[in-house]
């Protein structure tokens, strides 16, 4: 049911006139821009330019008002796994191919792909990745990743629709949307 509500047509019909908050896709500064959801989908949801900096790349993920998006979230069935003493908080996202978030870390959670494919790069907490905080994940993949010796490369996987990844507490991770993607993360706090 949730996937059926996440098609382009259904999302535009339900949320097209509502404002969404976009964040810059860099690690240490978070400029926020509010735009109508329809404008984001029709004008800003495009493939990532590899030359653009993270501070110039806008990304829709994480700043969802549960009340406004509640009619959608009520149909989401989260992963059946729990960590004792935590409560789930949802973050919904839609992003163009080649976009993503650069390396960062936070508490544990799950990420599920609804449409598209999302590549993940992960390092354990004791192994800080080599990256520039204003470099997009695509630029990192094109320029830094090929120079890494095999022992310094991250763990990685690609999620497809319906697949879920658990990311542990304080693990470094970066994501790259391989297609226009719809996804939701469940943060356990």
Domain ranges of the chain: 1-188
Backbone φ and ψ for 61, nearest 5 degrees, come out as: -170, 130
Tokens 């996987």 belong to residue:
157
Whether the full predicted model's pTM is greater than 0.85, yes or no, is: yes
What would the CATH number be for the domain defined by 1-188?
Answer: 2.60.120.650
State the pLDDT at residue 169. Answer: 95
Higher per-residue confidence, 54 vs 3: 3
Residue 29: pLDDT over 80: no
Nearest alpha carbon to residue 61 among 188, 179, 182, 189: 182
**Range with the largest mean pLDDT of 76-85, 100-109, 172-181:** 172-181
Reported as a single tens digit per residue, the pLDDT across 53-70 is 888 888 888 776 667 788
- Helical ranges in 16-149 per DSSP H: 37-39, 66-73, 137-143
Strands (E), 118-162: 118-123, 155-159
Residue 103: pLDDT over 90: yes
Reported as a single tens digit per residue, the pLDDT across 105-153 is 999 999 999 999 999 999 999 999 999 888 999 999 999 999 999 999 9
């Amino acid at each position: 049911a949730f996937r059926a509500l996440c098609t382009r047509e259904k999302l535009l019909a339900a949320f097209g006139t509502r404002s969404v908050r976009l964040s810059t896709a860099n690690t240490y500064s978070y400029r926020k821009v509010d735009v109508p959801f329809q404008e984001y989908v029709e004008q800003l949801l495009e493939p990532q330019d590899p030359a653009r900096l993270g501070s110039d790349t806008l990304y829709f993920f994480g700043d969802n008002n549960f009340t406004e998006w509640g009619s959608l979230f009520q149909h989401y069935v989260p992963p059946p796994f729990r960590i004792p003493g935590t409560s789930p908080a949802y973050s919904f996202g839609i992003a163009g191919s080649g976009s993503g978030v650069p390396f960062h870390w936070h508490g544990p959670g799950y990420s599920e792909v609804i449409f598209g494919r999302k590549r993940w790069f992960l390092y354990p907490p004791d192994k800080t990745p080599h990256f520039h905080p204003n470099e997009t994940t695509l630029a990192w993949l094109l320029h830094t990743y090929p120079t890494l010796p095999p022992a310094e490369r991250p763990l990685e996987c690609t999620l497809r629709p319906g697949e879920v990844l658990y990311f542990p507490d304080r693990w470094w991770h970066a994501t790259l949307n391989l297609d226009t993607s719809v996804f939701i993360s469940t943060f356990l706090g």
